């Protein structure tokens, strides 16, 4: 008995599609990692020479909170693409 022509190709295509759907479903369930963090640095004068405090979050989302807040600040986004963050310990 002969198999219909193209049955093998259809099976391979269906298996490849199922594999892609499975990989996509897995990637969607991974925890979201921020590629950047924001931090503001506070200075004592408008000349911005002496740092007196910082507020924001580091690459792993941990809060940065030290010093005092003044009107003289610079805020930036810090890109953290090469940082591996351990799972939360809560």
Instruction: Please report whether residue 1 resides in a domain.
Output: yes
The answer to whether residue 84 sits within a structural domain is no
How is 21-60 classified by DSSP, letter by letter? HHHHHHHHHSPP--SEEEEEEEESSTT--SEEEEEEE-TT
Q: Do 25 and 40 lie in a common domain?
A: no
Residues 7 and 25 in one domain: yes
Which of 30-39, 62-71, 72-81 shows the lowest mean pLDDT across its residues?
30-39
SS3 label, residue 5: coil
The structural domain count of the chain equals: 2
In a domain, 73, yes or no: yes
Residue 85 lies in a domain: no
46: containing domain: 36-79
If asked whether residues 58 and 25 sit together in one domain, one would say no
pTM of the predicted structure, to 2 decimals: 0.54
Residues 7-65 have pLDDT tens digits of: 778 888 888 999 999 888 887 776 555 445 789 999 999 999 999 999 998 888 888 99
């Amino acid at each position: 008995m002969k198999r219909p022509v193209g049955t093998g190709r259809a099976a391979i295509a269906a298996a490849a599609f199922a594999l892609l759907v499975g990989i996509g479903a897995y990637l969607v369930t991974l925890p979201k990692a921020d590629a950047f963090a924001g931090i503001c640095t506070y200075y004592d004068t408008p000349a911005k020479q002496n740092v007196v405090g910082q507020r924001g979050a580091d690459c792993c989302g941990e809060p940065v909170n030290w010093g005092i807040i003044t009107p003289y600040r610079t805020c930036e986004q810090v890109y953290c693409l090469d940082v591996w963050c351990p799972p939360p310990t809560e």
